[in-house]
Amino acid sequence: MSKRNKNTAAANIRISDKKSIKYALPILFMLTLFMFAIRGCAVRTYLENVFWYSGKGIEGDIYSYFRMQIFIFVSFVSFIWLLLSKVCGSKDCRIYNHNIYIPMIVYSILVLLSFAVSSYKNIAMAGYSERHEGTFVLIGYMFILFVSMNTMYTERAFKVAMYAFIIACIPLGIWGILQVHGIDIMSLPKWLFIPKKLRSGNLTMNNGANIVKWFFSNQNYASFFLVFPITISAFLSIVSKNIKMKVLFAAVSGLMMYNLWNASSLGGMVACCVTFMAGIILFNKYLLKWKASVIMILIALVSTAGISMGKILPQIESGAQAAAGAIIKTVYAAEDKNFIKIDYIETNGPDIIYSFAGNEITLKTANDNISGVYDSEGNNIGLDNKYFTASVKKGDSKYTELFVKTAKRTWAYGIVNGEIYYASPSGQGIKLGKTESFGFKNHESFATNRGYIWSRTLPLLKKTFVVGHGADTFALYFPQSDYAGKYNVGFFDDGCDTIVDKPHNMYLGTAVNTGVLSLVALMCIYIMYIIESIKTYRKCGFDTFSKIMGGAIFIAVIGFLVGGLVNDSTVQITPIFYTFLGIGFAVNRMVKGMEFKNVK
């Protein structure tokens, strides 16, 4: 080749690299600035007619609604931009063939069908209050996955993305340290993230003092997400040739680990443990070769865990109890000898039936008064008994008020035309009955009451096999009137009225919201990536940046997917997961040599 031809080829490579960065700009945004995207918003809930909602219909939001708007814009615009560039014949725009597009399209269709049949279209479109993972967001996940797969096609772009991500995580890690020491978002000037007209209101969520949340609404989300910065920073230490850079990235990995421990969430810890074990399996032959970085990372692990043991031990103890399969008692049993588990509550015409630990107690009324309280054998046990104290209040209202006081709750009922109704938080009178459940009997407190939530969620899947109820509508279909079940796990007492708005399992959330088949489609995406990655990395050699960091993304994705068993999908972090998943597919393609140019 002539000197001129060599120079021309080199120039073409440089131009191609610059163009690859241009198309990857949306990906760089998702891996950096998106994590800081918070802004106060006043949002309509569309819950005014729901019996369990007692709000005013407008609620403040800092962490989700603004991110939803940004993500929809970035994902849709970048997707359309990529397609138009391809249609217009751009030589630097590449769309690769892949079977993954089939489940992506199937999932998107099922999301749209679930919206079409939803009885709560406003919520299915914009998402539930403080979550806002609506229809457009779910479609956006597929768009950003597609864009990430097809715009990350040079090693230079990949390097820029990984370094940019960790650089963006460093200030967040420092912010996490400040949160541990009591400095949280409301310590910042409000003008930074709250519009002037909203500054007088309370738009924050109280998740406990001295806990790492980053710029997310819940420490579970921070813990769930941290699997990516911990893994990426650790492996950047491994791939770095300069000893100073090795030390720097190992220190960053330690900073991220400290944030993980102090997020006080067992789910994130488990996800990182799974990632750690997957890393040992995948890279076992190379750990000695990388011993300098591995030793520094282990030192960071041990030292940060040591100084955070006060946060770690309670989580380990809780996890050990759950793993042992012990029958976890209700939260009040140990502290209140008068507490008795309520199996169910039924309002049956003029009567209220309580079942206390297998003992059915019937409170009968007649002529707007209590006529007696009877046990299962028909004995009148009186208004003041070991189970509850009952009383009636007659006033000027159109109905007679009836109160049943148990160990931890005063239950308010109304007698209207001889019928008993429970007074819900919104003031609406509702009928109570037995709630269907599946599994976790006597284990409802498993995994911080997830046993209770899952046992009531699983029966919902019978009606969502093909399509779901609509994106983010879980709370509308969860049996919120299961006050007996909530009472037993501490969700419902005189000082607490918990609305279960998410299943704490991203797979169950998908199955309810957009259908079991949509979950199958997503699982196909995940499994296809896992199988492709195993084939790509099991014998690849791990001798280049792309091979090592591609393997790192693979094990981080594994950890995230395992963490999803106890955590929810959310617009605050899931867009970044799908960005990484798309990059993972792209890097697999690079490692396999499919149109990959190794530009040094």
pLDDT of residue 49: 86
Q: Look at residue 325 and tell me whether its pLDDT is greater than 60.
A: no
pLDDT of residue 242: 93
Region of 315 on the Ramachandran plot (φ > 0 left; ψ -120 to 50 alpha; else beta): alpha
pLDDT bin (cut points 50, 70, 90) of residue 323 is low
pLDDT bin (cut points 50, 70, 90) of residue 571 is very high
Q: Look at residue 326 and tell me whether its pLDDT is greater than 90.
A: no
Q: Look at residue 174 and tell me whether its pLDDT is greater than 50.
A: yes
Q: Look at residue 204 and tell me whether its pLDDT is greater than 60.
A: no
Q: Let me know whether 391 and 287 are in one domain.
A: no
Mean pLDDT of 239-258: 96
pLDDT bin (cut points 50, 70, 90) of residue 6 is very low
Q: How much is the mean pLDDT over the chain?
A: 89
Q: Let me know whether 283 and 192 are in one domain.
A: yes
Q: Let me know whether 316 and 351 are in one domain.
A: no
pLDDT of residue 594: 45
pLDDT bin (cut points 50, 70, 90) of residue 12 is very low
Q: Look at residue 591 and tell me whether its pLDDT is greater than 80.
A: yes
Q: Would 496 be classed as within a structural domain?
A: no
What distance in Å separates the CA atoms of residue 532 and residue 553, rounded to the nearest whole number? 13
Mean pLDDT of 230-239: 97
pLDDT of residue 199: 78
Q: Look at residue 453 and tell me whether its pLDDT is greater than 50.
A: yes
Burial class (CB in 10 A: 0-12, 13-18, 19+), 367: exposed
> Which of 430, 454, 480 is the C-terminal boundary of a domain?
430
pLDDT of residue 322: 61
pLDDT bin (cut points 50, 70, 90) of residue 2 is very low
Q: Let me know whether 200 and 232 are in one domain.
A: yes
- Domain with 40, as residue range(s), is 3-98+135-321+526-591
Burial 31-43 (b: 16+ CB within 10 A, else e): bbebbebbbbbeb
Q: Would 584 be classed as within a structural domain?
A: yes
Q: Would 482 be classed as within a structural domain?
A: no
Read off the pLDDT of residues 338-387 as tens digits, 9 standing for 90 and up.
Answer: 789 999 999 999 999 999 999 999 999 998 899 999 999 999 999 999 99
Q: Let me know whether 269 and 358 are in one domain.
A: no
Q: Let me know whether 49 and 192 are in one domain.
A: yes
What distance in Å separates the CA atoms of residue 430 and residue 316, rounded to the nearest whole number? 41
Q: Would 7 be classed as within a structural domain?
A: yes
Task: List the structure tokens of 338.
Answer: 């008068």
Query: Which residues have CB under 8 Å from 533's CB, separation 6+?
Result: 550, 551, 554, 584, 588
Q: Would 464 be classed as within a structural domain?
A: no
pLDDT bin (cut points 50, 70, 90) of residue 16 is low
What distance in Å separates the CA atoms of residue 86 and residue 99, rounded to the nearest whole number? 19
Task: List the structure tokens of 63.
Answer: 């962490």
Q: Let me know whether 86 and 204 are in one domain.
A: yes
pLDDT bin (cut points 50, 70, 90) of residue 399 is confident
Q: Let me know whether 349 and 308 are in one domain.
A: no
As a dihedral over the C-alpha atoms of residue 291, residue 296, residue 298, residue 301, rounded to 10 degrees, the angle is -160
Radius of gyration (C-alpha) of the chain in whole angstroms? 27
114 within 8 A of 471, measured Cβ to Cβ? yes
Q: Let me know whether 377 and 316 are in one domain.
A: no
Q: Let me know whether 315 and 385 are in one domain.
A: no
> Which of 399, 430, 461 is the C-terminal boundary of a domain?
430
Task: List the structure tokens of 403.
Answer: 């109160």
The pTM for the full model equals: 0.92
Query: Which residues have CB under 8 Å from 206's CB, separation 6+?
Result: none
Into how many domains does the chain fold? 2
- Nearest partner of 344 among 236, 237, 201, 485, judged by Cα: 485
> Which of 398, 430, 462 is the C-terminal boundary of a domain?
430
pLDDT of residue 275: 96
Q: Would 532 be classed as within a structural domain?
A: yes
